[in-house]
Structure 1
Amino acid sequence: MHRVMIHPATYENCRKAVDRAFELFPQDITGKKVVIKPNVLRVSTAEEHIVTNPALLRAVVEKVEDMAPKEIIVGDNPGLFNYGDNENSFSKTGLMAAAKGYYKNLGDTSRNLAFNPEYMPEIGVSKEIMDADILISLPKFKTHGLTVMTGAIKNSYGILPGAQKARLHKLAGSPERFHEVVVEVFRLRVPDLFIMDAVVGMEGNGPASPDLREIGLVLAADNPVAMDAVVAKMMGLDPGRLRFLQKAKAFGLGDFDSGKIQIDGDFYVLPDFKLPPLGGEAIAGNCEIQKLMNARAEVKPKADPELCTACGACVEQCPVVALTMKDSLPEVDEAACIACFCCQEICPEKAMNLS
């Protein structure tokens, strides 16, 4: 039996909900490395509510501080197109201040992992995510034009640095297959705890819709399928119709059956909640968005000879050994490059351009 917490909250008093989440889903944090991953789509303001609110992040950080961890790291890899802009995204949203000095650019280092060869044989994942003893995911209650909703499972798509997200969008080829890709990425490192910002949610054509919804809740769970099932039902959706939940259940990641989920709190369906089309047409049918994703998927790093000092940092950090020094300049093997752009993030001279 899975359990999902539904707790009333404002951004001013959300620490109470966070305390309750840790009571229901205890975490052995003392002496451990804890990574906290909010949902940071792109540069925006907190008032746009397209990212996890800074108040919830701060409440979670302060709760974890009280539990004597060895180390705390706060980070994410924003959006499909915002490589190299992690700090700016955190700063503008207010999440940098809320991180209380624990922010780290998760794009700086990547670990290469085997992946589903139907898409890519290998993929780069932020090293700090894979090294975490405890991983806490802070999704946002939002719709999404391609996956209908974004929640516990979709938030883990941000463990991929660089343009790999765009490349996988392109390789998936259809909304249904993209649902499956999201689950394939998620199961590379399943978070230990999920605490969702549903104080102000988003409806309409998310994940960056202007249609906001006052909900006044914080949700929590230690099972992603159960959490997303509850969110889907609150939106008026049958979770069994969502391909990513079907796939996650098939992988043994949880169950969306109501009889397998215990609610701690008051469940209710949000009246007249606006949803994007269930088939993913909101993004898949938009030619301009598809062109942009395809263009980003083809981007590769190239060294600027005027700035490069041949220090070799990019070569050392490349998780797939796609860079070699040639005539004192790093050169990329385009066939081997997985577009994680760790080389661009790590370069001390900012000499790696993306083109």
Structure 2
Amino acid sequence: MGIQSKVLVIESSYDACAEAVARVFSAFPQEIKGKNVVVKVNALRACNPDREAIVTHPALVKAVIDKLVTMEPRRIIVGDSVGTESYGKSRTVFDATGLAEAAGPYYRNLSQNLKVVDVEKPFRRKVAVLKDVLDADVYISLAKMKTHGMTMLSGAVKNNYGLLVGAQKSWYHFYSEKPELFAEILIEMYKLKPPDLVIMDGILAMEGYGPCSPQVRWVNKVLASTDAVALDAVMGHMMGFGTDEVPYLRLAGESGIGQTDLEAMEIEGDYSPIKGFNRPVVMPESTFSYLSGVGGGKTSRAFFADRVCLRPVITAENCPPGCAACTDACPSGALKAGKPPVLTSSQCMLCSACMEACACGALQLTPDPSLRGEI
């Protein structure tokens, strides 16, 4: 790479993370004044962030927002698209984790404003992604230091997988089969909109088989970089991984989209391996079958098949007269206006935007049994 990648590793705590955030913005200056800034957190599912390392901690989110406000941006937007167990329930997850309170007036349900784009790998396909992130002048990713039973790491690069909305994420788990193939969609989503700055919550980190492992480790560090690949390589080193053990890092290095060689980086702070860190050691059987805190300890083909078959089911009597929230949110035109709205199932992109937009409880996402024989 032309410019040497720098990674900052700062000793910190949730009580003192504002100091760490100030150091990050000093080390990696950003042109914020007058800009539209989007802050994407990791909001996988509802949890207690003081005891579980599943989401970016609200204290760090609040510290970043407070810093940004002093830099006079034109607008700040904070949000995410939620994970496997929470499709269509972004606001619920943000409320339950304290992220909505931390974001305050800057919170936005990003899953209601989507853009359809083409991706080439691992399959040529149209996908619906977070338009607010794509349109941002400055994109800041607040990742979480986590493990993953299939990708080994879930950090800065994988936080960009959250640009994909709803059960589209499960679609790639179901159809990729090989982790090396799944790595390609992670890289595609990263290249779609690389963050201008990544700040990683490594204060309370995840051990075991993530992304929802109950095992945690107080690492007490905030990591940061403008190169998400380099940051993940450093995080992986701290967890005890070599780059070759993480398919998406190996692919990123081969593709030249980020630095994976620690010797070629400028690393400030203590990034030595964490003694006794419980990293994943059992390799995944496939992209749909691996040890995980999701799905009762181990995911399965059926687990992801149910999500690939999700379709909106609408209760007509709960639809207010004239409401078009779900049809307006649908990026593919799969839902047409009516009472209730009419679904063309084959056009559904699995994005969950319809349920995110429905404020009257008229719409739920339910597996369609008739589709199981088609996948």
The TM tier, using the shorter chain, reads: over 0.9
Q: Secondary structure at the match of 2:37?
A: strand
1:254 lines up with 2:258 in the alignment:
yes
Displacement of 1:348 = 4.5
Q: 2:124, 2:84 → 1: CA distance?
A: 17
* Corresponding residue of 1:284: 289
Q: 2:126, 2:194 → 1: CA distance?
A: 18
1:1-355 → structure 2 map (5 Å cutoff): 1-46=4-49, 47-116=51-120, 118-119=122-123, 121-277=125-281, 279-281=283-285, 284-285=289-290, 288-308=299-319, 309=321, 311-325=323-337, 328-355=339-366
Structure 1 runs of 4+ with >4 Å offset: 285-288
Displacement of 1:52 = 1.0
Q: Secondary structure at the match of 2:249?
A: helix
Displacement of 1:323 = 2.4
My pick for the range that moved more, 304-313 or 183-192, is: 304-313
Q: 2:188, 2:78 → 1: CA distance?
A: 23
The C-alpha deviation readout for 1:85-107, integer Å capped at 9, x for no partner, is: 21221122121211132111111
TM-score w.r.t. length of structure 1:
0.94
> Alpha carbons of 1:349 and 1:210: their partners in 2 closer, same or farther (altered >3 Å)?
closer
Unaligned runs of 5+ in 1: none
My pick for the range that moved more, 332-341 or 139-148, is: 332-341
Displacement of 1:227 = 0.3
Which amino acid in 2 is paired with 1:157? Y
Q: Secondary structure at the match of 1:107?
A: helix
The C-alpha deviation readout for 1:185-219, integer Å capped at 9, x for no partner, is: 22221111000111121111122222211211110
TM-score w.r.t. length of structure 2:
0.89
Q: 2:340, 2:19 → 1: CA distance?
A: 54
Displacement of 1:166 = 1.1
Displacement of 1:288 = 5.0
My pick for the range that moved more, 202-211 or 7-16, is: 202-211
Q: Is the 8 A contact 2:122 2:182 kept in 1?
A: no
% identity of equivalent residues:
38
The C-alpha deviation readout for 1:31-88, integer Å capped at 9, x for no partner, is: 1111111111101111212211111111101010110011111111111131222122
Unaligned runs of 5+ in 2: 292-297, 367-375
Q: Is the 8 A contact 1:39 1:138 kept in 2?
A: yes
Which amino acid in 1 is paired with 2:355? Q
Q: Is the 8 A contact 1:49 1:201 kept in 2?
A: yes
Q: 2:122, 2:161 → 1: CA distance?
A: 18
CA RMSD of aligned residues (A): 1.9
> Alpha carbons of 1:353 and 1:176: their partners in 2 closer, same or farther (altered >3 Å)?
same
